[in-house]
Amino acid sequence: MTQTTMTQTAMRQLQSNLSELARLQEQATSQKAFAAPSDDPAAAAAALALHAEQRRTEQYARNIDDGLAWVTAADTAITSSTSLLSRVRDLTAQGANDGALDAAAKEALAVELEGIRDELLSQANTRLLGRSVFAGTSDTAAFAADYSYSGVAGSEVTRRVSDAAAVRVDTDGAAVFGTGDDSVFALVDRIVADLRSGNNVGTRVAEIDDRRTAMLGVQGAVGTRQAQIERAKEATVQNSVSLESRRAAVEDVDSVEVLIRLQAQELVYRSALAVNARVLQPSLMDFLR
């Protein structure tokens, strides 16, 4: 064993200790288990898969939030519409009392009903971010001034909320409000015309009840979809937490553990320096060179 061999061996060991010290310092600074995929290929592959799944889950979360906004807007509009229709029923029942109302009183009822009709039409044309919630994929208002419907059968707006489920988030305006002469707006117009012409409007009460029942039926379906989306949201939140926990287990380091290992490695490196400084003393040959 020559002096040169001892020196070379000591230098290799010192370099190895220094490399390990640098690696631990990098982990302590970055809080990451590996700096490059080549450091741990298996962990890097697992981390890439987890990141991809996290991005997919984040997209589902955005879809869910958007879908909830759609169904909430539709549910709110239908709720307002049923309340307005209840007022229409009250006014119609009141207007059916021919013996107690004169022409002026019936005109006052007619004017109020016309205002309610306009409110119903406004609710039917509820928009969310420039899109009608009752007209499917159509970019125009759901109902025109003549009560015609712009929605197209089968043109549903859906949002994917998980790998296996997509939920319809728009609502069929024709099912809620009717169309043309069969719409709730035309019904109110007929009640107004009857009041002004002196015809008894008592027979219109049953028609109002039928239209309100149809509205409530569609609202029930909207509520079912809303509940489905909310369940998907809960599942997405839980999945997001689980994915982050799994990612942290693969990518992140235990700060306390790394600090202890770093301190231990520093001690090893300093000890190696001290030992080699004592053992590898200059020889006569070093001076002769």
Tens-digit pLDDT profile for residues 217-256: 999 999 999 999 999 999 999 999 999 888 877 776 766 6
Residues 103 and 163 in one domain: yes
DSSP state of 110: H
For the question of whether the overall pTM of this predicted structure is more than 0.85, the answer is: no
**What's the confidence (pLDDT) of residue 287?**
47
- Of all residues in the chain, the percent with pLDDT exceeding 70 is 82
221 CB-side CA count, 13 A? 14
Least Cα distance to 58 among 241, 225, 246, 229 occurs for 241
Segment 24-77, tens digit of pLDDT:
667 666 677 666 777 778 888 988 899 899 999 999 999 999 999 999 999 999
Residues 150 and 59 in one domain: yes
Measured between alpha carbons, how far is residue 108 from residues 49, 102, 113, 147 in Å? 68, 10, 9, 24
Residues 68 and 202 in one domain: yes
Kindly state the tokens that stand for 178.
């009717």
Contact 134, 127 (CB under 8 A): no
CB count within 10 Å of CB 79 equals: 15
Residue 94 forms part of a structural domain: yes
CB count within 10 Å of CB 71 equals: 25
Least Cα distance to 117 among 145, 79, 96 occurs for 145
Residue 66 forms part of a structural domain: yes
pLDDT averaged over every residue in the chain: 86
Residues 284 and 143 in one domain: no
Contact 125, 141 (CB under 8 A): yes
What range does the domain containing 204 cover?
49-247
Total residue length of the chain: 289
Determine the Cα–Cα distance for residues 186 and 135; give it in Å rounded to an integer: 19
Residues 235 and 266 in one domain: no
Residue 41 forms part of a structural domain: no
Residues 268 and 146 in one domain: no
